[in-house]
Amino acid sequence: MGTDKFGEISVLTSIAKPDIAIITNIGEAHLEDLKTPENIAKAKLEILEGLSKDGLFIYWGDDPILKKIIKDMVIEQKITTYGIEEPNDYQCELGLVDENGISFKLKKPDEEDFFLPLLGKHNMYNATAAITVARYFDIPFNLIREGLYHVEKTGMRNELVYAEGFTILNDSYKSNPSSVLAALDTLYHMEQYSQRIAVLGDMLGLGEDEIAMHEDIGKKIDPEKIDYLFTIGPFAEYIAKTAKIKFEKDRIISCVNKSQLIKRLKKVIKPKSIILVKASRPLELEEVVDKLKEEVILPKNQVI
């Protein structure tokens, strides 16, 4: 159920009348209308209004905002939490990460190993939420493993695009601070590549603190784990501005449009590179992905 203002999930949950409700996280995607993360949490928690009295409420127990608000609520339904922290009912732990996907372990309530053909630590959390539901319905672990192994990938969300001699991590569908940090974390783990490049565009719809949020991303980027940072758009320039505190200047390139971005990228891409491309939907950076794949050809014998 999606929302960008109070009352919308209330209507949807009254129609659907769910038996199980899950809240996966409290992000920043709707701050423009809802103003604060706490309000986003309250809007999402409207889903409980339609949840059956003997239903199950599942939420990401590592989320500090959710934990704070739920602690003061009276919830009649059964509650189950998941995450990496100890108090959660379902506790997971990340294992091996490579271009094929992620391995992770369920530490409790049962010790089980899983593989997911998707990239990103956040997908481990999503998978654990799915496991929680499956176990509630007594689905055996062998069938859960098989289901996760064959999960279908969604385009433009942590999608690996193989070009001639290099790879693109296409995450151009949407962007907000939480998802940017998750995408960067995925890029950091792609250690088998000789060069890692991040292309970050504007994060839109963040409300009055949008400049500060872009600056915060720049502060958090690890200069030891990427070789170049490219930005595109007026807000993304603030990412570059604060990243320059830790990066050498020639490793940060700000571009005003997609043609300039493509031109500058072509100058630095080497064989066996991986390039993260991420921005909000209006920037349509999938066009950059398509152009790079079409126009850049590197030696095939250098491909992983």
Domains of the chain (ranges; CATH) run 8-149 (3.40.1190.10), 159-302 (3.90.190.20)
Q: Is the pLDDT reported for residue 304 higher than 50?
A: no
Q: Is the pTM of this model over 0.85?
A: no
Q: How far is CA 180 from CA 74, 262, 290, in A?
A: 34, 20, 21
Query: pLDDT of 257-275, one tens digit each?
Result: 999 999 999 999 999 999 9
Burial of 166: CB neighbours in 10 Å, binned 0-12, 13-18, 19+: buried
CA 24 to chain centre: 11
Query: pLDDT of 236-263, one tens digit each?
Result: 999 999 999 999 889 999 999 999 999 9
Query: pLDDT of 48-88, one tens digit each?
Result: 999 999 999 999 999 999 999 999 999 999 999 999 999 99
The string of DSSP codes covering 14-51 is: HHH--SEEEE----STTHHHH-SHHHHHHHHGGGGGTS
Site of tokens 């050809």: 297
Position 296 scores a pLDDT of: 87
Query: pLDDT of 194-226, one tens digit each?
Result: 999 999 999 998 888 899 999 999 999 999 999
Burial of 9: CB neighbours in 10 Å, binned 0-12, 13-18, 19+: buried
Q: Is the pLDDT reported for residue 299 higher than 80?
A: no
Tokens of 171: 């995450």
Q: What is the mean pLDDT of residues 135-142?
A: 97
Query: pLDDT of 1-11, one tens digit each?
Result: 988 889 999 99
**134-121-278 Cα angle (round to 5):** 120
Q: Is the peptide bond before 109 cis (omega within 30 degrees of 0)?
A: yes
Nearest partner of 4 among 12, 70, 66, 236, judged by Cα: 12
State in Å, rounded, how far the first CA of the chain is from the last one.
40
